[in-house]
Amino acid sequence: MVTLSDIQAARARIAPAIVRTPLVPLPGVSNPDLLLKLESLQPMGAFKLRGAYNALASLSAAERAAGVIAHSSGNHAQAVAYAARALGIRATIVMPRNAPAIKLERTKAYGANVVLVGNASTERAKKCAELAAQHGYEEILPFDDTRVIAGQGTLGVEIAEDAPQTDLVLVPVSGGGLISGVAVAIKSLLPNARVVGVEPSLASDAQASLRAGLIVAFPADQTAQTMADGLRVHRLGDVTWPHIKEYVDDIVTVSEEEIEEAMRALAFQGRVLSEPSGAVTTAAWLYHRGALPEAKHPVAVVSGGNIDTAQLVHILGKGHDKAE
């Protein structure tokens, strides 16, 4: 299990590469105001840089020389490519063919060699493992890695320091790396605060797992239907699951329509650009308050802002059409 000491060590390790992102209010939308942790302001546009940089910076000289490989639908791909370039390490990234164009293009722009496979997370994980064995690459998993979890947990430390009155933290859930690290940090530093995960109803395997008390997997063709491409992983990780059982208070779900509405609220009321995966937490606060613990000082993690222009225009335009 990852500890607060692991997270603090990661914090020192990644300090040269990441932004200490601000907490800003989303005014006029709810009472009390929701504070937003803007991980969309990281250099590559998402929280994933924290975990990826910590993992790569932890490698031995021999491991760095061999190169690294990762698999991802987008943000972890960019994060590993960005960190590898910064540290002078060769990177290969396995991505699905349906990855958003902006994430694919930026991963290549950061200098990584990209290998495309089918859309299921199991397919890219299998290809990643095969190439790692074939070439001797160090595999950097997107969430099921204690180094990655510790890096993501630094976000929680920042929340606790910048807003010690926080009593509820809402965190997007995919494979569980982000919420595992954040929950360890928050429960260690603010033991009375609640940590609640949020995921799309179409990819609600984490909620099903927490309810059942064991890991529940969803079919890839179901999870692929959500617009929140960063949350399409079909099951929690074996490493993240114990952290979630121990530290996470609950997991709630939001609909596709609610995700879009939350993106519009973030854009028009908060002047915040969010990708769908990053907007799920705001959607939970706006539309599922009754399912959440009572809170006077809530924080929502806006996990990323990497979204294709066409998708963004379409979603924001729908809000404009409704207004007219």
- pLDDT tens digit sequence for 1-36: 999 999 999 999 999 999 999 999 998 777 788 999
Asked if residue 56 lies in contact with residue 89, where contact means CB atoms within 8 angstroms, the answer is: yes
The CATH number given to whatever domain includes residue 42 is 3.40.50.1100
Q: How many CB atoms are closer than 10 A to CB 85?
A: 15
Question: By percentage, how much of the chain surpasses pLDDT 90?
Answer: 85
CA gap 149, 184 in Å, rounded? 10
Same domain, 298 and 250: yes
How many structural domains comprise the chain? 2
In Å, how far are 45, 46, 49, 55, 288 from 170, measured between CA atoms? 19, 16, 19, 25, 12
Phi-psi category of residue 89: left, alpha or beta, with phi > 0 → left and psi -120 to 50 → alpha: beta
Q: Who has greater pLDDT, 307 or 244?
A: 244
> What confidence category does residue 155 fall into, taking pLDDT thresholds of 50, 70 and 90?
very high
Same domain, 58 and 105: yes
Domain hosting 60: range is 49-139
> What confidence category does residue 323 fall into, taking pLDDT thresholds of 50, 70 and 90?
very low
Same domain, 132 and 249: no
